[in-house]
Structure 1
Amino acid sequence: MSLVVQKFGGTSVADSEKILAAARKAVRAHQHGHQVVMVVSAMGKNTDTLISLAAEINEKPPAREMDMLLSTGEQVSVALMAMAIDSLGYKGVSLTGAQIGIKTDSSHTKARIHSISTDRMKALLDEGNIVIAAGFQGIDDQFNITTLGRGGSDTTAVALAAVLGADQCEIYTDVDGIYTTDPRVLPEACLVPRVCYDEMLELASLGAGVMHSRSIEFGKKFNVPIHVRSSLSDGPGSLIVDDADTAGMVVSGAALTRDEAMVSVMDVPDVPGTILKIFKPIADRKITVDMIVQNVSDDDTTSISFTVPRGEAAEAVSVIKDVVAELGGTLAPVNENVSKVSAVGLGMAHEAGVANRMFRVLADAGINLEIITTSEIKISVLVDRTNALDALRTIHGEFSLDKIEAQPNEVRPSETAKRDVSALDVIERLQVIGMEALTIDDIVLDNTQARITICKIPNRPGLAASLFEQIADKGVFVDMIVQSFNNEQIADITFTVKREQLQDAVAVAEEASKEYGCEKIDFRERISKLSVSGIGMRSHTGVAMGSFEALAEAGINVEMISTSEVRVNVVVDGDDGARGLECLQTRFAEELES
């Protein structure tokens, strides 16, 4: 008998009528021969109400007591849902996280799942019950109630689907599924039938609020097909799976992160450990760093730009100003009037010219690019906030994301079979060290690339587009692209190519430097690209810092950086590649073994 996990969010159980509607969906699945586990959130705005009530009592309530308070919202929902199931003539049993046996660590309000017991749930399912589980909560080793933080019910649902070997996890929400971009921002956004885990992780980090990153990480780690559907209709929804097979789509989504701020550190020594010294105090304060752009050195110094949420910019500057002064560098004025626009798609890892197209349409729209950073499946640019919406619409239209047609959407037998053969041994191992433990899939050394930098290029619309179009015309495939900020008029562009294509790329760069009036070009025939890839890179924020630290301790200088939700890439000198690989393998040995 197949098993389905159904999750209903707060808006889907906001009142008695919606609770009964959700109960009917569960009963219908039960009638079709499925065993059913429901995961239920607190009703409507109940959690917000409890938070406000706590604030009236205590401005800084203890985290343990907040968990005790907030967990009651889901307890109300599961009891009412069980009553609704009973009213429809079927058996339903409500369980709190503790009653299920969801064991977590003791990080109150943001706990991570260590293990989940399945004995009680399986026994109840075998007796013909629909099991109604409280989302968002668990219990630690001291029997304290814990909550999982933002997106906690999604995380509960996918985790239960993993340990129970469910055929799929259905996430019912107040939207139809996953869209090519936020439909509240662009009305022309279209429903995406299928998206892969990596694409969804990138989109979730960029503000696609349908699901939280931790639940997608669970899905990827345990091969759980996730079906995002509307609780208000029976539409096809969107499937999140291992291989989305999007029929030739190069880009599957675009996203806008509106309130960014750019911090630029200028003229710091280009020596091992510099980047670690700058970012360690930021990491210690748990300030969220997004784009990191470090270009190659100029006269033994380098400049580093990074973005943080606008509300955290002042704190970021305050914690690094002394370090920057000690290094002999300077801090440029913070630019709080920028937004990040990104294109995401698995297809861009294999198809050349995606960056060219994106840069060209933005240039034709008169939109200047402050920062460029690329990863294997994402291109992000920083633009002036006044141009952000136009940039998003331009990219969305260029890749025909407004022309996707809805279609029937069901989990394929091959996807269920893959989960059956590959996930259960992973679950057994991770129940010991923690189901949400960071998992490093691979650490890879690429010694086949070369690097080119065009120094002090005028920062105006169209230059990046023109440059990379000329490079593409030569048949040169570009991997990493970094455009970093020097001042309001000047930028450096660095990119990597296959070593055998270096001379063709240099010829284009030389012509471009003459045309644009650039100061010089610099190139290196031998570089090493080190890539750390895994699951949990966003929720475990120490991967980039761990990489910087390991390389600094070995005296290896970092020349370029690009980061994404599933990978951290750093470029080092070609002679340091093998030693750098060994350092990273040693640093992440435990995570690799798991």
Structure 2
Amino acid sequence: MALLVQKFGGTSVGSIERIEAVADRVIQSRLQGHQIVVVVSAMAGETNRLLGLAKQIDEVPTQRELDVLLSTGEQVTIALLAMALNKRGYPATSLTADQVAIRTDNAFNNASITQVDTDTLQHFLSRDHIVVVAGFQGRDSLNNITTLGRGGSDTTAVAIAGALNADECQIFTDVDGVYTTDPRLVSEACKLSAIHFDDMTAMARHGAKVLQLQSVEYAESHRVPLRVVSSFDDGEGTLVNFEPSSAAGAVGVAIKAQQSLLNVEQPIHEVEQRLQLLGFDVWCYAGDNHSTWMVTAADALARLKLIMGDLAVVEENVATVTIVGEGSGQMWPHVETLLLEHELAVYQQTSTVRCLSLLVQGLDVQRATAILHKKFVVEAESLDNRPLLAVS
């Protein structure tokens, strides 16, 4: 018998019918003899609905009160799922994060989990209950309600799995696993049976949305095996673990689309110093001795323009395409030649041992991704025996 933590996101619990289907899926695991803790998000669209209500009152609502409001979405889901399980004859108990005792720091709207008390969870598990926990939320040291930011339910699930020493944390989502690149953009994208944590972390950091970055980092540091599985189809999904890859080289291509390129009339060292003081992690590179180029996502653009004032001018819509895998950082000469052959321009490139990131025009992102994926992932080595990585 294994102890499993299963997380179901917003689309998986987006309606009463889907909540009923989640109950059936949970019971399948229970019938195999496993102990189950289920972590759920708010129903699809509910967090945005609550945020919209807040902004009808105040365009910039107080962060503390916003957390009080947004945390209510998950409470609805846990109660409904527990009802569905109990109706089927499987004892289930719903718990808010406060009832579990999930403690966080006091960073409203983007808190980090500091501690998970397991006494209440163990109490119900020992009585053969399925425990249904609200994701995305916690309490700080002053007993304020906090939320963990977008995708925070993944982090809740991983933190609970780590605290309970669970055998596996299963993330149920609307995709059936991790792919070598975004299958919506590249038809040759392949689903992988397994991927090393180092590669998954790099992919998540550079745009893969199948797993939230904070949850992957937490799982790696607490050595919690992760499995990405479909909420709607049977299948083994993709296991994220610590087994070394069978070969070095590119394992996937991650994408950050819809970014902006800003030109700032200040030397790069002054810009980087200012951004560091304000807690911004932005890709910067020098234009000349008196200007700096900055790459930023759309949701940070307004804040950056406010900080930089008239010094910042939006020049271009861009995207970053990142080749991930051991040794990818040394691939630039080959990548440059390939993209020149296809008449694809690269504004700038940056690399680490495991990643090579390219800044390209926004309109070129799909073609650049397909070309790089085919050359350095598909043609580099057969995927049949290679447990790689992917984006969703």
TM-score (norm: length of structure 2): 0.89
C-alpha contact (below 8 Å) 1:50/1:69 kept by paired residues? yes
Aligned to 1:252: 251
Q: Map 1:484-503; keep pairs closer than 5 Å.
A: none
Query: Counterparts of 2:5 and 2:378 in 1: how far apart (Å)?
Result: 30
Pair 1:342-2:322 in alignment: yes
Residues 1:334 and 1:40: Cα distance change in structure 2 (over 3 Å): closer
C-alpha contact (below 8 Å) 2:251/2:377 kept by paired residues? no
C-alpha contact (below 8 Å) 2:247/2:386 kept by paired residues? no
SS at match of 2:233: coil
Shift of 1:340: 1.6
The count of corresponding residues between Structure 1 and Structure 2 is 386
C-alpha contact (below 8 Å) 1:293/1:373 kept by paired residues? no
Aligned to 1:281: 274
Aligned to 2:190: 190
Query: Counterparts of 1:261 and 1:314 in 2: how far apart (Å)?
Result: 11
Q: Which string of whole-angstrom CA distances, capped at 9 and with x for unpartnered residues, describes residues 161-208 of structure 1? A: 001000110000111111122222223322122222222222222222
Which segments of 5 or more consecutive residues in structure 2 lack a partner in the other structure? 388-392
Query: Counterparts of 2:10 and 2:95 in 1: how far apart (Å)?
Result: 17
C-alpha contact (below 8 Å) 2:225/2:240 kept by paired residues? yes
Query: Counterparts of 1:377 and 1:344 in 2: how far apart (Å)?
Result: 6
Q: Map 1:426-465; keep pairs closer than 5 Å.
A: none
C-alpha contact (below 8 Å) 1:293/1:304 kept by paired residues? yes
Aligned to 1:365: 342
Query: Counterparts of 2:307 and 2:249 in 1: how far apart (Å)?
Result: 40
Shift of 1:219: 0.8
Query: Counterparts of 2:222 and 2:126 in 1: how far apart (Å)?
Result: 23
Q: Map 1:108-507; keep pairs closer than 5 Å.
A: 108-245=108-245, 247-248=246-247, 250-263=249-262, 268=267, 275=269, 277-290=270-283, 292-293=284-285, 305-309=293-297, 312=300, 316=304, 319-320=307-308, 334-346=314-326, 348=328, 354-401=331-378
Residues 1:89 and 1:244: Cα distance change in structure 2 (over 3 Å): farther
Residues 1:56 and 1:305: Cα distance change in structure 2 (over 3 Å): closer
SS at match of 2:260: strand
Query: Counterparts of 1:144 and 1:293 in 2: how far apart (Å)?
Result: 40
One-letter amino acid of the structure 2 residue matched with residue 128 of structure 1? D
Query: Counterparts of 1:79 and 1:138 in 2: how far apart (Å)?
Result: 17
Q: Which has the higher contact order (CA 8 A, sep 6+)?
A: 2
Residues 1:395 and 1:132: Cα distance change in structure 2 (over 3 Å): same
C-alpha contact (below 8 Å) 1:191/1:405 kept by paired residues? no
SS at match of 1:111: coil
Shift of 1:9: 0.5
SS at match of 2:146: strand
One-letter amino acid of the structure 1 residue matched with residue 259 of structure 2? E
Q: In angstroms, what is the RMSD of aligned CA positions?
A: 2.8
Query: Counterparts of 2:306 and 2:19 in 1: how far apart (Å)?
Result: 49
Residues 1:116 and 1:58: Cα distance change in structure 2 (over 3 Å): same
Query: Counterparts of 1:360 and 1:195 in 2: how far apart (Å)?
Result: 29
Pair 1:16-2:16 in alignment: yes
Shift of 1:72: 1.5
TM-score (norm: length of structure 1): 0.60
Query: Counterparts of 1:408 and 1:233 in 2: how far apart (Å)?
Result: 23
Percentage identity across paired residues of the two chains: 38
SS at match of 1:370: strand
Greater shift after overlay, 280-289 or 57-66?
280-289
Q: Which string of whole-angstrom CA distances, capped at 9 and with x for unpartnered residues, describes residues 111-164 of structure 1? A: 111111001111211111111111111112222221111111000000000010
SS at match of 1:50: helix
Aligned to 1:77: 77
Which segments of 5 or more consecutive residues in structure 1 lack a partner in the other structure? 269-273, 323-330, 410-594
C-alpha contact (below 8 Å) 1:191/1:406 kept by paired residues? no
The structure having more radius of gyration, on CA atoms, is: 1
SS at match of 1:346: coil
Query: Counterparts of 1:317 and 1:79 in 2: how far apart (Å)?
Result: 43
SS at match of 2:322: strand
SS at match of 1:12: coil
